[in-house]
A = this chain, B = another copy of it.
Amino acid sequence: MSTSTVNVRHLVLGLLTQRPMSGYDIRKFLRSLSWLIGSPSSGSLYPALRALLQNGLVTVDVVPSQDKPSRKVYSITEAGRQTLQEWVERPVAPDTPLKAFVMRLILASNFSRAGLIAHLKQRSSQVTAHRAVLEQMIRALDEKADLGQRLALNYGLAIAGAELGCLDGALDQLLEEPLSEEVMEGARVTNAT
């Protein structure tokens, strides 16, 4: 729990900030981005929901339906929002893998504006550093050249480039429009950083 490894509980909590959802809803949504961040199995999702419930971070609302089995719709509580907020602004490990970063991105609405910018900048510098490493490794590779290694390194380079482009774009936008409503909207001034 220390340096914030994204886990199902936090991800679920994050999704519930957007709208109340049932376990099934969450699964459906996450399956649609499974390629990007993977999607938890029911064996981890449902226990996670139960844990959140027991900690008072969410509430249930059993919604019967005459044409389908009844669903348990979960909503985040104020305590839940607070917990998420605290968690989300915590420092991340220096070598966060892509998946973890994107997961956090999904929770971005729970960042303070400053926090989000800092987060993106941090990622940017991490990726830049790693790209340098990859470039060096590729240069060191040349002749003897294992095919797989070369492919993998090039792949990494391409990903890094894409990330940096994306990050720069997002940062530009964020820094230009200094006080856009949408960004601030959900941002209850929690810890007025």
**Complex interface bits, A155-181 against B, C-beta within 8 A gives 1, otherwise 0:** 110110111011001100000000000
Chain A residues touching B, majority SS = helix
Inter-subunit contact B166/A158 (CB<8 Å): yes
A18 to chain B minimum Cβ distance, whole angstroms, is 5
Closest chain B residue to A148, Cβ basis: B108
A76 to chain B minimum Cβ distance, whole angstroms, is 14
Partner of A159, one of B38, B134, B162, B169: B162
A193 to chain B minimum Cβ distance, whole angstroms, is 17
This protein's copies in its complex: 2
Inter-subunit contact A35/B183 (CB<8 Å): no
Inter-subunit contact A152/B34 (CB<8 Å): no
* A162-B164 Cα distance, complex, nearest whole Å: 11
Interface size on A, residues (CB 8 A): 49
Inter-subunit contact B147/A33 (CB<8 Å): no
Which of A40-48, A61-69, A94-102 lines the interface with chain B?
Answer: A94-102
Chain A residues at the B interface, C-beta cutoff of 8 Å: 14, 18, 32-38, 95-99, 102, 105-111, 126-127, 130, 133-134, 137, 145-149, 151-152, 154-156, 158-159, 161-163, 165-166, 169-170, 182-183
A sample of 21 cross-chain residue pairs with beta-carbon separation below 8 angstroms, ordered by A number, consists of A33-B133, A33-B152, A33-B156, A34-B95, A35-B96, A35-B97, A35-B126, A35-B130, A36-B152, A38-B95, A97-B99, A98-B98, A106-B149, A107-B148, A109-B148, A110-B148, A151-B170, A154-B166, A154-B169, A158-B163, A159-B159
